[in-house]
Amino acid sequence: MKFFADTADVAELRSLAGTGLMDGVTTNPSLIAKSGRKMSEVIAEICSITDGPVSAEVTATDHETMLKEGRYLRAIAKNVAVKVPLTEAGLRTCKVLSDEGTPVNVTLCFSANQALLAAKAGAAFISPFVGRLDDIGYDGMELIADVVQIYDNYNFRTEVLVASIRHPVHVLQAAKLGAHVGTMPPSVIRAMMKHPLTDKGLEAFLADWAKTGQSIL
């Protein structure tokens, strides 16, 4: 399973890149807005930090303007994946950009039927939002299971990119279901490293070593 960092904080991304745990990055207009910088500058810097796909989202809602924005965004760097919403205009834009060789991430997916449409439109990634479904009383992981099964049934090349991940349990569940990618805040990736028994064991090892008065170097 690939891990994408869901942030536009370049300092955080540089730190995380050093761990080898980051396979790509996803952004959206809200994350870019938090940076207080011009979108093109932020995307270009992020693309220099990772060789993996960097999702840059259009802000238009009509097809023609989406297409113009998508072509502008893909010109920023070779590893830009254009992100479009799962609307009719977004799917039309996905089809055109995909036919032109641009990877497209279709976002704001909340049903398996929507995911099926995105795959047929040629999406490189589909982004089902599990956390937001959980928030309104649905089981977001049921959607992931359905989409993975449908894509496997027809050998679609679209990768299931689990979005709106809130905690490590979401990551575990998505991985068990066979999702291709999980995109999450860096804090969730770091939380996956933590376990109280790891901390307790390390504390004991270091205490025993200190008693020897030795130094490895």
For 36-80, write each residue's pLDDT tens digit.
999 999 999 999 999 999 999 999 999 999 999 999 999 999 999
- Rounded-to-integer distance, Cα 159 and Cα 144, Å: 11
pLDDT at residue 203, as a whole number: 97
Strands (E), the chain: 2-6, 24-26, 54-57, 80-85, 104-109, 125-128, 159-162, 181-184
pLDDT at residue 107, rounded to an integer? 98
The reported pLDDT for the residue numbered 159 is 98
pLDDT tens for 120-153 read 999 999 999 999 999 999 999 999 999 999 999 9
Domains, the chain, in order of start with CATH, read 2-212 (3.20.20.70)
Q: Of 2, 38, 83, 211, which one is the catalytic site residue? A: 83
Q: What is the pTM of this model?
A: 0.95
pLDDT of residue 127: 98
As a 3-state breakdown, the chain gives helix, strand, coil percent values, each rounded to 5, of: 50, 20, 30
Reported as a single tens digit per residue, the pLDDT across 158-211 is: 999 999 999 999 999 999 999 999 999 999 999 999 999 999 999 999 999 999
194 is catalytic: no
Contact predicate 160/180, CB 8 Å: yes
**Whole-number pLDDT of residue 84:** 98
